[in-house]
Amino acid sequence: MHYLKSVKLMIDRVPSAPKRPQELSKHGDVRNDPWFWLRDIDDPGTLEYLKAENAYTEAIMEPESALQGALFEEMRGRIKEDDSTVPQKDGDYYYYTRFEKGNQYPIFCRKRLSLDASEEAILDVNVLAKDLDYCRVGSMENSPDHKLLAYSMDADGSEIYTIYIKNLETGELLADVITNSYYSLEWANDSQTLFYDVLDENHRPIKIFKHHLGADLAADELVYQEMDERFFVGVIKSSSKRFIYVAATGNNMSEWWYMDANDLRTSLTLIEPRREDFEYDVEDHGDRFLIRNNGDGAEDFKVSETPIASPASANWRDLVPHVLGRPIGGITVTRDHLILSSRDNGLPQIRVMEHATGDSFDIAFDEEDYSVGVMEGREWDTTTLRFSYSSMTTPATIYDYNIETHDRELKKQTEVLGDFSSEKYKSRRVLAPAEDGTLIPISLLYAKDTPLDGIAPLYLYGYGSYGIVVDSNFGSARLSLVDRGFIFAVAHVRGGMDLGWGWYENGKLLNKQNTFTDFIACAEYLVDQSYTEKGRIIASGGSAGGMLMGAVANLCPDLFKAIVADVPFVDVLNTMLDDTLPLTTMEYNEWGNPNEKSFYDYIKSYSPYDNVKLQDYPHMLITGGISDPRVTYWEPAKWTARLRDSKTDSNLLLLKIHMDSGHGGASGRFDRLKEVALEYAFALKVFGLSATTG
């Protein structure tokens, strides 16, 4: 009884963050932000408020604790826990990753000469994570002679990595420990020299260093330093293993440098200088560079070739021409072939081209809606192309494709345990007309026995930023909703690059509102077509997709039953005015620079935090991560505080700040499922279906 009274007390005591007037002024416009103070994690009131919100969420969801546990066990029960990846050959070794039953983290392994050889576990992440609440391995590269392993680890979700080097012959860690790194590291071909990136005080990777094993880290040579705060830098080794590349990338801009991976006396050589709205990336083959780029008006990208001896764009010659509406997303190069990853009518395609003859062909796929991706191998001299394939009804499937015979060999299909069968489900791709008549693709998944009479609850996911494509892939966790009668849908709104660069351009900068109205149009279309009805839709999105959630909640709240916003980027105007944050300056090309009045006014017109109104809102579940460097914890916290102060309804408003993780949520594979179980239990609760456990 004491516990129940405590729960009731927590439910009755709705959290409230005090208002502290904070006047902000820009371009003569004065705003008052009474929750600006929540940015200060050292203010005792900040943690007090976050803990109160977490306790409130726990109390509200306590009646669904059994359901949440059942959902977790159900989702975990579909996973083959003792699983492994398809091995990749690299010289004398076969490298692969496996999981053991009950363990949260992978074990990285290899076998020498044969898959029948004894296994060597080269890195057990479960051991690394033993005493940690969070553990993620960022980069991992074996040395070319296979004697050493360099890997980076983040122990708190902050995306600040420490690089360690392990002697694979003795199992010992070397004394060389490199701190304050980000996501890239590469070996020179001598197996004794490591290239790595370093973060500045604003969490931007701006320097590349070269370290020789055993040398004083303080004496490491600075190879490259980025001076433009709109760019991040990374180090990459070419597929041929011939070059070390340094890539400086901004939003829609890039610049590449190269040096000989065999001769460390050489210095970096620039391939082509950066310029506004010019993006390229590089691979090498023989005496030429192969360059995917958007030069000369090739907005959906083309592939050019240029001599390595004189790589500047004046010498570029088109190899694969630009085709409007067929964006080339990436290239993969082997000794004999160039593989193009592109999209046609929004669906992924793979084209294979022979270097010697220029002959090419496409690999065909049959389903109406699907996801496919090239898996880059470790070997240069190969006629085997490995790719992954899945759809919303087909679990992830790995094929080895023989480029010479055109035969494909099934290597592995992810096993889904329990009574799963693809035959029980239906997947469709439909087109919804947007406000301006543009047809927006929607991917749908539902059980074949779900009646399409407008009664089904519908879970609608969206993102729509940075040109990122949300593919129609398989997810076993979502079956826990679909098996309970939900329709699961993905709205491929503008702001992604699903249908080409124009699709992206029409959902960014001064066209950003299209992303929001596209999503609303998709929801309305699904109502019109009797998949569901108004007020029976749960909208979901994370990060920039969380901005989408905040915008549609402000614009059309009665269309949705509930909103799930994970690590939502909602305080857009304040964030884009703060150039000390890691991503701000880099993303001026995405959202606009609010130091210019036209962008300031436009961002202010849609920024979810700035547009919270005195109105009814749907049920809402909002999450954040205390150590998140991308969307800082105070964005969801401030948004929640303002919503509590403004909303005129009695619907649920729950905030969950994860106190031991960052942007990506929990690091363990089962802990992540607990977060999904919370979201799904919330969805079932607001629909009054929480008593249904199967």
Q: Which residues are catalytic?
A: 543, 628, 663
Q: Give which of 423, 376, 459 is closest to 679, Cα–Cα.
A: 459
**DSSP states along 605-633:** HH-GGGG--SS---EEEEEEETT-SSS-T
Q: Are 558 and 615 within 8 A, CB to CB? A: no
Q: Is 602 left (phi over 0), alpha (psi -120 to 50) or beta?
A: alpha
Q: Are 214 and 176 within 8 A, CB to CB? A: yes
Q: How far apart are CA 233 and CA 255, in angstroms?
A: 9
Q: Give the pair of three-digit tokens for residue 369.
A: 């809606």
Q: How far apart are CA 547 and CA 462, in angstroms?
A: 10
Q: Give the pair of three-digit tokens for residue 56.
A: 């409130």
Q: Which residues pair with 342 in a beta bridge?
A: 328, 349
**Cβ atoms within 10 A of the Cβ of 78, count?**
19
Residues 6 or more apart from 535 whose CB is under 8 A from it?
558, 559, 560, 561
What 3-state class would DSSP assign to 317?
Answer: strand
Residues 6 or more apart from 616 whose CB is under 8 A from it?
557, 558, 647, 648, 649, 651
Q: How far apart are CA 45 and CA 67, in angstroms?
A: 33
Q: Are 71 and 677 within 8 A, CB to CB? A: yes
Q: Give which of 464, 468, 461 is closest to 523, Cα–Cα.
A: 461
Please report which helix (H) or strand (E) contains residue 8, including its range: helix 2-12
Q: Give which of 210, 121, 63 is closest to 652, Cα–Cα.
A: 63
